[in-house]
Amino acid sequence: MLLPHQPLQEAAVPSQRIAARDQAGPWHSEAVCRRDEAGLFFAPSKEPTAARLSREEAAKRVCARCPVMVECREHALLQPEPYGVWGGLTAAERRVVLARRRRREAELQRSQHIAAAG
């Protein structure tokens, strides 16, 4: 995601995400993607599906060997980051994870409410 000679905000994040990124923790310094091409993690406009899938798989291979993959993924889920591969997940995969978390949280709240009423 990052080129080694560029600051984090400029290299990895679309401009609208810079403000949120400034508050992130120091885990970035350990990210393997700091040494890789930023284009691997973010889609060019009008990218063909086969090219996108290939690029995303290559980005996920980088993420798989990253010591801060979990921190990166949580950052992307908490922000939430709307684009790119973060923590080994695409934007669509992150939406699924977030939906599952919301569903789980709602079920937990319902069960607590039922337990408190009973």
Other C-beta atoms closer than 10 Å to the C-beta of 71 total 18
Token pair belonging to 10: 């400029």
Omega prior to 4 cis, within 30 of 0: no
User: Does 33 belong to an annotated binding site?
Assistant: yes
Contacts of 72 (CB under 8 A, 6+ apart): 27, 31, 63, 66, 86, 87
Residues 38 and 12 sit within 8 Å (Cβ to Cβ): yes
Q: Of 79, 78, 77, 105, which Cα lies nearest the Cα of 90?
A: 77
Q: Please give the Cα distance from 28 to 11 (Å, whole number).
A: 12
User: Does 63 belong to an annotated binding site?
Assistant: yes
Output the known binding site.
Answer: 33, 63, 66, 72
Output the known binding site for [4Fe-4S] cluster.
Answer: 33, 63, 66, 72
